[in-house]
Amino acid sequence: MRAVVFKDFGSVELAEVDKPSILEPTDALLRVTTTAICGSDLHVLHARIPGMTPGSVLGHEFVGVVEEVGGAITKFKPGDRALGSFTIPCGDCWFCERRMFSRCHDQHVFGYGSFFGDVNGAQADYVRVPNADFTLHHLDAGMSDEQVLFAGDIFTTGYDCAAEAQIEPGDSVVVVGCGPVGLMAVQAAKVFQPSAIYAVDSVSQRLEMAQTFGAIPVDSSSVHPATFIQDHTDGRGADRVLECVGLLPALTDSLDFVRAGGRVSVIGVHSDPEVALPLNITFVRAIDLKFCGTANIVGRWDEALRIIAEGRAEPDAIISHRMKLDDAVRGYELFESREALKVVLTP
Ligand SMILES: [Zn+2]
Ligand SMILES: [Zn+2]
């Protein structure tokens, strides 16, 4: 079968690989119908996630049709259409029992190398899905692949960040960073009925899209965002800040944007071992700093799919490029150069 495989740091290729098969009774084999390139695929590619072996299959956003199931699978049968979660929880540890699936000690990730369970990804004709009773979600026939695809990763990630921010109706909200996850966070934040969402970025195309989702764009290349936000919140700062970048300047900016006693919810992936934070000011201003870690996809995707089904969010609106799996390498180039906001691939 065809698959997008990790070649070397910085490069992928489309290769012919063996079709996967059921290895465990809790596995399912899925024929992929739609998949996508995620920002975190680029992390893998550039070795910010160590442990990738050449030839391993990338990709963790996918929808498909179940082709075969292992003997212990109870929720799916061949022919079922299903959405995949990018994370694979064990399903029966202390955390999984409490639906804190993303805190699972034995959590694996599709296409993320040996430190994440060495599970081949889904940018391929077929994918083996471990713990499929947890890792797959049934889909309503009325929903298209594209509508639901991001509920397995970036939309539910944005929703997780918004939910962890504990937005109350009428709150002012800032979303820092309008990449794909930030744009999902804008849409998800809206579900909690804030009075205003300020979207901070410096890329005009992203800001325009955030605006179409109902946010007030704040172009950090032309205005001073902290001043802008203070001017619009009677000098207090925003009630809630959703940090969707994962770099120190975005985190320290978030502490500037939030009001005293407000909450910063961090979904941007931080990889620095240590950083200098303005600790005294953060303490005195009583900032509630919430790190979300890996988003709780399996714990929250019921809600995420309901929101999409009810038309309260439209994650697929960010798709800028639809390509065949055969053109995946070009898709990676377009995504990496930021010419493409979001690339969807169909085998
Ligand atoms: Zn992802
Ligand atoms: Zn677990």
Average pLDDT over residues 181-204: 98
pLDDT for the residue 141: 93
Interval between CA 74 and ligand 2 midpoint (Å): 18
Interval between CA 295 and ligand 2 midpoint (Å): 14
Neighbouring-strand partners of residue 18: none
Enter the tokens of residue 214.
């109902």
- Name 26's Cβ contacts closer than 8 Å, sequence gap at least 6: 70, 72, 73, 91, 130, 131, 132, 133
Which ligand approaches the C-alpha of residue 62 most closely? 1
Interval between CA 192 and ligand 2 midpoint (Å): 29
> Residue 49 — very low, low, confident or very high, per pLDDT cuts 50/70/90?
confident
In this structure, are residues 87 and 20 in contact, taking their beta carbons and an 8 Å threshold? no
pLDDT for the residue 319: 97
Question: Within a 10 A sphere around the Cβ of 161, how many other Cβ atoms?
Answer: 26
Interval between CA 155 and ligand 1 midpoint (Å): 10
pTM score, whole prediction: 0.96
Average pLDDT, the chain: 96
For 270-305, what is each residue's pLDDT tens digit?
Answer: 988 998 999 999 999 999 999 999 999 999 999 999
User: Cα 213 from chain centroid?
Assistant: 17
Interval between CA 285 and ligand 1 midpoint (Å): 33
For 71-86, what is each residue's pLDDT tens digit?
Answer: 999 999 999 999 999 9
